[in-house]
Amino acid sequence: MMTEVFSVTARDGLARAGVLRTAHGDVRTPVFMPVGTKATVKAVDPDELRTLGAQIVLGNTYHLHLRPGEELIAELGGLHRFMGWDGPILTDSGGFQVFSLRDTLLEVDDDGVTFRSVYDGKAERLTPELAAQIQERLGSDIAMCLDICLPADASRAELEEAVRRTTLWAQRQRDLPRAAGQLRFAITQGGLDLQLRERSSSELVALDFDGYAIGGLSVGEHREPMFEATSAAAAFLPDEKARYFMGIGDPEGVLEAIARGVDMFDCVLPTRTARTGSALTSEGRLNLRNARFARDERPLEEGCACPACTRFSRAYIRHLVTQQEILGLRLLSLHNLRFLLDLVAGARQAIERGEFTSWRNGVLN
């Protein structure tokens, strides 16, 4: 009997817990995926990631294609071996980077997109075929289809065109060669327009992918309409496939999306916030540059099992941050990742106990 790629193991309202099966191991959902843009989660090594509770990491096709190139990574045994991580890896398609760096965008047509490299300004071309081929060579466990992700101020006509092209490109990527055991997810678009969301979802679902992402949200729109669109987008997707909200990582947003039936998340927020000297905690963000922490002997978060909280005080981490010591940013990165990974693991356990709503209300208070 063939094992399903994804199974739901528990439900609580629309929230669900499940298992996603990949070539490099099972991922228990809901899951937060730390972002390793350039084949590294900034300042954190793979053993530390594992200890923090990370099950799967994300790599960026755009960056790895331009530096050092997928040929070199393939020659050295693939992305897992190259970065020393033997767990599951998801690679994005590069679409988000190409379309979000608006001033580097040169031309979009039905064949693909031309843009200027952020590295050397050279014109580069990305097509659905190339995005699939790069990810095949990287050897990731989950490859994403190239899509067109527009900013929050896009017009309806622009969104409609993005939906059309995203489907056209998904069709062309559907049956291209894959790495051994590689899953392929399509990305739904449509912005906040629920009609277009439905169209995009139904066209992509008809093509039968291994899983589906909700793209084109968390791009600068207001939160309430974003959550409404998330509810609609999730409802248009098949119950038996994993759902991935791309680019959300603030604690409240992640819990709202889980409540709406989303299973997977990624965001640079925990590590980027760390590099600005801030900690994610159950009391909200702490800016360690603030003088009120100068004599604060408490850990960043009471009860947190991360390397920062088990050994060091807020006062010490503040000292490291204000002196721009590398250890300060590293400790904050480890803590912020642990905080988010623990939060999502807590959500999974609450769903399994059938207490997600009351647990979430407790956390958000």
Q: Interface with Zn ion by CB under 5 A: which residues?
A: 304, 306, 308-309, 335
In 10 A of CB 114, how many CB atoms? 17
Q: Least CB distance from residue 286 to Zn ion, whole Å?
A: 11
Per-residue tokens: 266: 């990624």
Torsion sign over Cα 182, 185, 186, 191 = negative
Kindly state the DSSP code that residue 292 receives in the 8-state scheme: G
Q: Which is nearer to Zn ion, 262 or 308 (CB)?
A: 308
Catalytic residue among 147, 193, 266, 342: 266
Q: Is 92 a catalytic residue?
A: yes
Q: Which is nearer to Zn ion, 246 or 308 (CB)?
A: 308
Catalytic residue among 12, 92, 263, 342: 92
Length reported for the chain: 365
Q: Least CB distance from residue 52 to Zn ion, whole Å?
A: 10
Q: Is 266 a catalytic residue?
A: yes
Q: Which is nearer to Zn ion, 318 or 335 (CB)?
A: 335
Q: Least CB distance from residue 126 to Zn ion, whole Å?
A: 38
Q: Least CB distance from residue 334 to Zn ion, whole Å?
A: 7
Report the Cα–Cα distance between both ends of the chain, in Å, rounded. Answer: 46
Residues ≥6 apart with Cβ < 8 Å to 150: 99, 158, 159, 162, 189, 191, 216, 219
Q: Which is nearer to Zn ion, 150 or 308 (CB)?
A: 308
Residues ≥6 apart with Cβ < 8 Å to 351: 10, 11, 12, 15, 16, 17, 30, 258
Catalytic residues: 92, 266
